[in-house]
Amino acid sequence: MAEIVLERLAHAYAPGAPYALKPLQLTWRNGGTYALLGPSGCGKSTMLNIISGLLRPSEGRVLFDGRDVTALDTGVRNIAQVFQVPVIYKSMTVGENLGFPLVCRGAPAAKIKARVEAVAERLGLAPILSKPANALTADLKQLVSLGRGLVREDVAAILLDEPLTVIDPQLKFDLRRILKEINEEFRLTMVLVTHDQTEALTFAEEIVVMNHGEVVQMGSPTELFERPETEHVGWFIGSPAMNFLPALLEKDRIIVPGTDLSVAAPAALPQGNLKIGFRPEHATLSPMAGDLEGKVTRIWFEGADEVLGIDWNAHRVKVRVSGTSPARIGEAVSIAVPTNRLCVFLDGRRLHLG
């Protein structure tokens, strides 16, 4: 296990080319669970490959427990990496696949057997240890690939590059729980790369949100949901995404014209594109005149909740309602949002209003 520090790290794939990974400074503590979250092409895999040693950064350093490993090969870094496409040894059984990293390190047979059985039990692979790994389904092959990363107790970190893509939804839920239990027991530093916010929010203690090669925010799931630093985070985190409405500065307040949505403006507010944002979860239907009035144009079911799509001035506002909403499509409704739930964004970045 290791504390991982990315010190003034950046990468461009050719001299003079734009940054694929913009300059950053990050510290991941020993034994933590982290997620790199963002759309395809945002730099997630570039960062992971730099940490693993598959790619050498054009700028900066990678430190494991204070030791500079930037120039070291993957094998020397003592990390385990699990990829999106399962990697298995076709000629081996499930048990032989799981134990292979320990065999390569010359571990005693008794230790290999005990460790393989323990990991297999955790992952539900114990009944098939003697089966040929090549005959397994794609999701079971991925479990084997994952188990091979977990079987080593001395790894500095486990890097998971979208490993749940080929796994069915229920197994994904179980596997995230298992990974968290393993982390809590052995305090392994785990980094999960994913474009799926549900995977990130349910797995990681801290999430690094990326966009266009930039780390736009790092924080706990609660921090990202309640206090997004950018419009991108507000849009990418949450289902449905945060509502954003155009705003203006009028005297000492920032308002959404034609509504009662407003907040006090900070002193010396710079010029720029203003928006007020709020989560669908933080808005409620109001039986009286509220902060915004519109027409319900869509209702969709989400388990114990319903989400209303409300059209207002060419904008679609979403409101999450617990249970079944009394509203009907075509009906005019009024919504209310507490002022302390409103976020103000200037040119895409949240203003800290105090």
Tell me: the pLDDT tens digits for 301-329?
988 899 999 999 999 999 999 988 889 99
**For residue 174, what pLDDT is reported?**
78
How far, in Å, CA of 290 to CA of 28, rounded?
44
**For residue 122, what pLDDT is reported?**
85
Residue bearing the bigger pLDDT, 29 or 165: 29
The strand pair at 343-346 and 292-302 is best described as unpaired
Q: How far apart are the first and last CA of the chain?
A: 38
**For residue 1, what pLDDT is reported?**
66
In 3D space, the residue among 129, 128, 104 whose CA is nearest the CA of residue 114 turns out to be 129
**For residue 230, what pLDDT is reported?**
97
**For residue 154, what pLDDT is reported?**
78
How far, in Å, CA of 187 to CA of 134, rounded?
31
How far, in Å, CA of 327 to CA of 188, rounded?
49
DSSP symbol at 58: S
Show the domains of the chain with their CATH numbers. 4-231 (3.40.50.300), 242-350 (2.40.50.140)
% of the chain residues with pLDDT over 70: 99
Lowest mean pLDDT among 142-156, 162-176, 208-222: 162-176
Residue 10 tokens, joined: 């950046």
Quickly state the pLDDT bin for 169 (edges 50, 70, 90). Answer: confident
Range from 80-94, 135-149, 204-218 that averages highest in pLDDT: 204-218
- Check whether the bond before 57 is cis (ω within 30° of 0): no
How far, in Å, CA of 77 to CA of 71, rounded?
10
Tell me: the pLDDT tens digits for 250-278?
989 999 999 999 999 998 899 999 999 99
**For residue 324, what pLDDT is reported?**
86
Tell me: the pLDDT tens digits for 12-49?
999 999 999 999 999 999 889 999 999 988 999 899 99
Question: pTM for the whole thing?
Answer: 0.88
In 3D space, the residue among 109, 197, 98, 216 whose CA is nearest the CA of residue 148 turns out to be 98
Average pLDDT over residues 140-147: 87
Per-residue pLDDT for 295 more than 90? yes
* CB-CB neighbours of 311 under 10 Å: 13
